[in-house]
Structure 1
Amino acid sequence: MEKYDSRIDIYIGQAADFAQPILKRIRALAHEACPEIIEAMKCGVSFILTIKEPSAVWLLSKTTALLAFGKAH
């Protein structure tokens, strides 16, 4: 599995203008901080996956950009 997923570029490109630079920055910081992460699309949603937990997901709408972190129990 590739570390960078071209579908994420499309996902970011479809975000609201205000959200695009934020999402690009989050993406760059995530790869810088944790080089082993892998990007993926699941059910039409962009995920940042890690070999170790936690993982992150971002959700976009016309007016909102949300970044959430999760950890399995």
Structure 2
Amino acid sequence: MPTSQPEASGPSEDRATPDDLLHARTGTEVSPEDIVLASGKDITPRNLEWAKRKLAAEGPSALDKLLP
């Protein structure tokens, strides 16, 4: 039995996704733990201190810079 394929309404356009659609921050406060986890590191006192410094320097956008 053939599977149905959605019909293309026209030529597909390869466009980059706008940056504001790629990031998923919900508007809540960004914590040092969020920064550590987004960087792929374990939550340790040393990594939390690094994350606190990063947040102080870059603000909540520090999280956006770490997310794909």
TM-score (normalised: structure 1): 0.32
Structure index of larger Rg: 2
Higher relative contact order (CA 8 A, sep 6+): 2
TM-score (normalised: structure 2): 0.34
Higher strand proportion: 1
